[in-house]
Amino acid sequence: MKKDGDKIIFENAADLPDMAKSMGTTRFNKTGTWRNERPIVDTDKCTGCGICWKYCPDMSILEDENGKAAIDYEFCKGCAICVEVCPVKAISMVEEEK
C-alpha cells in the first residue's frame, strides 16, 4: 500500500486491504478549502468558555496555549456557528482571500 501524505494510493488489486477501517481517515480531505468566509477569534475578548468548541460540527475549534479558542483553518468549513453561539462576540467572519 502506497501513501502520499494522508492519501492512500491503490495501483492494483493486491493493494486492496482486508479491512477498510484499518486504512485512512477523512483527515486527507482538507475541508478548509470550502470556506467563503473565515472566522477570526479576538483572543482579548475570548474567555475560554468552550461554547464554540462544543457546537462546532467539524472539530475545528482548538485550544491555544492560553486556553483561548483557536480555529483549525485546515478543516474549518466557515459555517459561522461559532460566531452565533459565542456569548461575548469574540468571533467574527471576514471574507476569505483567494
Partner 1 sequence: MKYTIPKEELVHPGHLACQGCGGALAMRIMLKTLGKNTILTFPACCWSVIDGPFPYSAVKVPLFHTAFETAAVVASGIKAALNRVGDPKTNSVAWAGDGGTFDIGIQALSGSAERNDDMFYFVYDNEAYMNTGIQRSSATPKGAWTTTTPVNHPKATPKKDILAIMAAHKIPYIATASIAYPEDFTRKLEKAKEIKGFKFFHIFAPCPPGWRANPKDTITLAKLAVETKLFPLLEIEDGEKYTINLPKKDKGKPIEDYLKLQGRFKHLKENDIKEMQTFIDKKYNRLKILEEISQ
Q: Nearest CA to 74 among 6, 8, 9?
A: 6
| Binds partner 1 by CB under 8 A, chosen from 43, 77, 92, 96 | 77
By the rule CB under 6 A, 51 interacts with ligand SF4: no
By the rule CB under 8 A, 53 interacts with partner 1: yes
- Cβ pair 42, 70 in contact under 8 A: no
Query: In the stretch 77-96, what mask flags binding to ligand SF4 with x, by CB under 6 A?
Result: xxxxxx--------------
Alpha-carbon dihedral angle through residues 48, 50, 51, 54, given to the nearest 10 degrees: 160
By the rule CB under 8 A, 33 interacts with partner 1: no
Give me the least distance between CB of 98 and partner 1, in Å please.
Answer: 19
Under the rule (CB under 8 A), what is the footprint of partner 1? 8, 17, 20-21, 23-31, 34, 48-50, 53-60, 63, 67-69, 72, 74-75, 77-81, 83-85
